[in-house]
Amino acid sequence: AQKITQTQPGMFVQEKEAVTLDCTYDTSDPSYGLFWYKQPSSGEMIFLIYQGSYDQQNATEGRYSLNFQKARKSANLVISASQLGDSAMYFCAITNTGNQFYFGTGTSLTVIP
Amino acid sequence: DTGVSQDPRHKITKRGQNVTFRCDPISEHNRLYWYRQTLGQGPEFLTYFQNEAQLEKSRLLSDRFSAERPKGSFSTLEIQRTEQGDSAMYLCASSLGQGTSGPLNSYEQYFGPGTRLTVT
């Protein structure tokens, strides 16, 4: 089985600053995928970024990047130049087959103007 | 393409009643997932379909829960004899996926707005 741990229940960041949201994972499978999702107060989960276990480079998608440290089993999300609209819950998830996904408990991010 | 839709958006029911939720995935997506999310928690996997076949089911899912995807398009999730502990947001997601062993980045999920169930 896989497991995701997100140890930051809440984070605050000043507008235009960068912020790192932590995610550690546990899996015995050498092949896995890591996903980050954003859930605004409206409730709908939005896909942000993906990192595969065999990817040589850290994933980037616009202002989102993933600090992937395989040996430490961490996949931290970095949001650069924070905007007020980034205020939301952020969830890290893992799958090894695409059939079943395991999500963490999430981090609530608040961007301060 | 209007994305993943779920119906109803809200459901209030009395304990012991049966409820059924519907999910319409993105039309070309062959993979469909159901999750349950309670306050302060991440989505908890319930079950997964590839086309019309239910391939995974969480061990946490009691026999009061059943899901179908009869023609590989929309799906329904039924909860029988509801209990107060069933109160939660029920999320549906779909993904394109590539067969059973495609690259994992093809399993990016698109979520619906959820159905909020309140059992009184």
Q: Which pLDDT band holds residue A60 (cuts at 50, 70, 90)?
A: very high
Q: From the CA of B101, how many Å to the nearest CA of chain A? A: 7
Q: B79: closest CA among B115, B41, B40, B39? A: B115
**Average confidence score pLDDT of chain B:** 90
State the pLDDT at residue B19.
98
Buried b (16+ CB within 10 A) or exposed e, B68-91: ebeeeebbebebeebeeebbbbbb
- Is B6 near chain A, with CB under 8 Å? no
Judged against a pLDDT cut of 60, whether residue B100 lies above it is answered with no
State the pLDDT at residue B1.
54
A94: its two tokens: 């893992």
**Average confidence score pLDDT of chain A:** 94
State the pLDDT at residue B98.
61
State the pLDDT at residue B45.
94
Q: Which residues of B are less than 8 Å from A35 in CB distance?
A: 108-109
3-state secondary structure (DSSP) of residue B107: helix
B21: its two tokens: 């939720």
Percent of chain A exceeding pLDDT 70 equals 100
- Is B5 near chain A, with CB under 8 Å? no
Q: A35: closest CA among B113, B108, B3? A: B108
Q: Which residue in the set A31, A47, A97 is minimally distant from B109, CB to CB?
A: A47
Lowest mean pLDDT among A47-51, B52-56, B67-71, B105-109: B105-109
Residue B84's Cα: distance from chain center in Å?
19
Beta bridge partners of B36: B44, B90
State the pLDDT at residue B60.
76
Q: Which residue in the set A47, A52, A102 is minimally distant from B104, CB to CB?
A: A52
Q: Mean per-residue pLDDT for A50-55? A: 91
Angle at B57 between CA B55 and CA B58, to 5 degrees: 150
Q: Which residue in the set A45, A52, A102 is minimally distant from B105, CB to CB?
A: A52
Q: B46: closest CA among B3, B77, B13, B9? A: B77
State the pLDDT at residue A48.
95
Write the pLDDT tens digit of every residue in A80-89: 999 999 999 9
When mean pLDDT is compared over B15-24, B36-45, B89-98, the highest value belongs to B15-24
> Which of A99, A103, A107, A108 should be substituted to probe chain B, the one whose Cβ sees the most B Cβ atoms within 10 Å?
A99
Q: Which residues of A are less than 8 Å from B61 in CB distance?
A: none
